[in-house]
Amino acid sequence: MAKTYDFPSDLLAGQEELHQVRAELSALLKRLPWSVAPLDGFSDNNGWRKVERPASPGWTPDEQAEVEKLRQREHELAVFVTTHRFWTDVETPDRVDARSGLKHASRTREAG
């Protein structure tokens, strides 16, 4: 049976926000043009698979700022979660399992 961990509320909140920020960033990047700077489209079928891209108008300054803001917040949260004082109380061999448990903790609470 898998060991359960009593994660502190601030660590759980940080991990949940990290999930949310990553989902928001992923959705934003999918909506944005493929190139940050304006570039012409291209087609290349000389490689192992054909690659085509339409012309890209580039990202607006507001879009660039939003991506930068989300990436910065993602970084801050990742540092917070990985350096949280909780991990010093977890035995070294158990840390991978505990980290995995934290990543899935919010989903487990929602299902329960």
Higher pLDDT, 109 or 19: 19
Contact 40, 92 (CB under 8 A): no
Q: How many CB atoms lie within 10 A of CB 15?
A: 22
Higher pLDDT, 50 or 1: 50
| DSSP reduced 3-state for 56 | strand
Whether the CA torsion 31, 33, 35, 37 is positive or negative: it is: negative
Burial of 68 (0-12, 13-18, 19+ CB in 10 A): exposed
Which pTM does this prediction carry?
0.84
4-57 pLDDT tens trace: 899 999 999 999 999 999 999 999 999 999 999 999 999 998 888 888 999 999
